[in-house]
Each structure stands twice: as structure tokens, then as C-alpha cells.
Amino acid sequence: MGIALSISATLGAIVFVLMLASPLTAYRDAIAIKSTLSLIETQANLSYRKKVMLSRCVTDNAPMTIQRLINEKRIPTDVNSGLHTFETRFTSININGWTRPNYLEIRVTFADSAALEAIASHLNPTIYQPLTLVFLTPIQIDVTDNLSHFDKKTGCLQ
């Protein structure tokens, strides 16, 4: 009787641990995704700001991609390993005939819907698509220090 009770208690503990493991894994994965999103957002903004400072134009037409950030050594090369992949791009706004980035769009695409469903409740995407979560972040660039020299027709400082 004592052995059976001991085995039953052990099996109960194992089942309890297994029940906790899945939500904890999903929470851990969500934290890792949030961390990567924050890194991509910060580094994409810094990359854009550097281009603006070098070119003196807010009209950066170079595509913002994960590969660009990897090539600039701003994010790790293994960012797209695992059950999900990241993509990024700028969405643009047209002002007086010239275009400048106004949002950074980061897409997280999951390998299967089970992985997405387990993690999605821990994240706050802007758009929820099948297998993909989309996060939009405004791009803010301040040229007010030289606004009197800002050419509104070209989007560049004179």
C-alpha cells in the first residue's frame, strides 16, 4: 500500500510538472521574442538615423531588412533560427512628392499555428494574421535643429 501510494504521488507530481512546462515554455519564448523585437526596433532606428546623419536626407530609400541589420552587425546572425522568423521593412509616407519612412514593420512568422497560439497571448501585435504577428513602430526623426535649412521639396537639409 505504501509503495502504491508513493508511485501514485510521484506520477501525480510528474503530471503536474508536465502541465506547467508548456505554459512556462510559451512564456519564456514570448519573452525571447519581445527581446528580439526590441533589439530589431532599436537597431533599425539607429541604422536609419545614421543614414540620415550621413546623407542629411530623411528620405532613406534603402530597404530595411533583417539582412541589412545583420550586415551592419547590429543583430546576431542566428536571429531567424527556431520556430519563428523575423522580417522587417519600413512603411513610407509621401510628403510633397518625396517619401520617407514613417513606420518600422516587424513580422514574426511561426512555423505552425500551435506555436503561434501558445505565444500570442503574451504579445501585443498591431496586426494578427494566420501564422504571423505584425508589430508597427513609428519612426521619429527630428530635424528641428536645422529646420530653417530643411528643404521640404526634397526632404534634405541644404
Per-residue pLDDT tens for 24-70?
A: 888 888 999 999 999 999 999 999 888 888 877 777 667 899 999 99
The helix or strand, by DSSP H or E, that contains position 88, with its residue range, turns out to be strand 84-95
pLDDT at 72 over 90: yes
Task: Calculate the alpha carbon distances from 58 to 26, 95, 96, 152 in Å.
Answer: 39, 11, 13, 10
Q: Where are the domains of the chain?
A: 2-157
Q: How many CA atoms lie within 13 A of 112 on its CB side?
A: 3
pLDDT at 145 over 80: no
Whole-model pTM: value is: 0.78
Question: How far is Cα of residue 55 from the mean position of the Cα atoms in its chain?
Answer: 26
